[in-house]
Chains A and B, each alone.
Chain A
Amino acid sequence: MTLLSEKAPLTEAAYYILLSLYHPMHGYGIMQNVKVMSSDRVNLGPGTLYGAISTLLEKGWIKSAGEHDSRKKEYQITESGKKAVNYEIERLEELLKNGRKITGAKQ
């Protein structure tokens, strides 16, 4: 799973999952957190979330943070995951800057 570098654009799901995991969280917690962060706009389906978590684990962008309340697995972002988020923020800033410059949309 090293086909794409940390500089590749992230999907919306991956970006919000990584942001959620700056604090250790379990699957259901991530779903709720993303919903709140995006003011109900992004609803991650459990199948989509599971696939994204598996891929992020394989890439080493998140790691397991032990088991909480007996059975629930918690996850946490790693240093390379944080790097990927920072690249993404830079990329999004560039997109915003150019979009605003051309359309004249308000800041």
Chain B
Amino acid sequence: MKHSAWRWFSDYEKEETWLNEMAAKGLSLYSFSYGKYTFEETEPGKYIYQIELLENLPTSPESIAYLRFLEETGVVCVSSTFRWVYLRKEADSGPFELYTDIDSKIKRLSTVKNLWFTLVGIEFIVAAVNLALVICAWVTTRQVEWLNLGCMFLFASVCLLLLRLGIKPARKIKTLRREKLICE
């Protein structure tokens, strides 16, 4: 039996927790596309899930080589969207931790941080352009460009959301870097 659910997550860690809760109940994710999660019925707790942001698109040779390597270790990529991949491993083969030392943990977090901060930059520019248009219109014609004003607030709020998402890994990286000064 297949089940599907529509959800929207901005924080991949919360999404991961949710998928693992579902898997613990016997609903294991096997495909994801545009907010639609499809689950298959399995025995409860059969799989553990992890979500990873790859450095390249899943179809690039680098990512194919990496995913093939993961497969050798029992980790299967069930679905992907943009550079994000949904990975799962059978729970009885031990804990599922992709990264086990500080350096590689920092590298993984940096990939996520860079994605969010790049988008923050883009959204910020778009918001700033809209603000400039509103000001220009006001100065020249004394009229308020409501459309541009609305766009400005929209992009500014998306910018703030992304900033929040980016700050999370950035903080973790800072803590790990400190730890790295005294341990491996």
Chain A residues close to B by CB (< 8 Å) = 11-13, 26-28, 31, 43-52, 71-73
Q: Which A residue sits closest to B74, measured CB to CB?
A: A28
Q: In the bound complex, do residue B101 and residue A46 qualify as a contact, i.e. CB atoms below 8 Å apart? A: no
Q: Are A47 and B104 CB-contacts (below 8 A) given A27-B72, A27-B73?
A: yes
B122 touches A (CB below 8 Å): no
Known: A44-B100, A45-B98, A48-B98; 18 extra A-B contacts, CB below 8 A, are: A12-B184, A27-B72, A28-B72, A28-B73, A43-B97, A43-B100, A46-B69, A46-B98, A47-B52, A47-B98, A47-B99, A48-B101, A48-B104, A50-B69, A50-B70, A71-B68, A72-B72, A73-B69
In the complex, which residues of chain B have a beta carbon less than 8 angstroms from the beta carbon of A50?
66, 69-70
B75 touches A (CB below 8 Å): yes
Q: Are A46 and B75 CB-contacts (below 8 A) given A27-B69, A71-B68?
A: yes
Q: Which 3 A-B pairs have the closest CB atoms?
A: A47-B98, A45-B100, A48-B104
How would you classify the secondary structure of chain A's contact residues: helix, strand, loop or mixed? helix
Query: Could you write out 13 A-B pairs with CB less than 8 Å apart?
Result: A11-B101, A13-B101, A26-B72, A31-B73, A43-B94, A45-B99, A47-B70, A48-B101, A48-B104, A50-B69, A51-B104, A52-B104, A71-B68
> Chain B nearest CB: distance from A75 CB in Å?
11
> Chain B nearest CB: distance from A92 CB in Å?
13
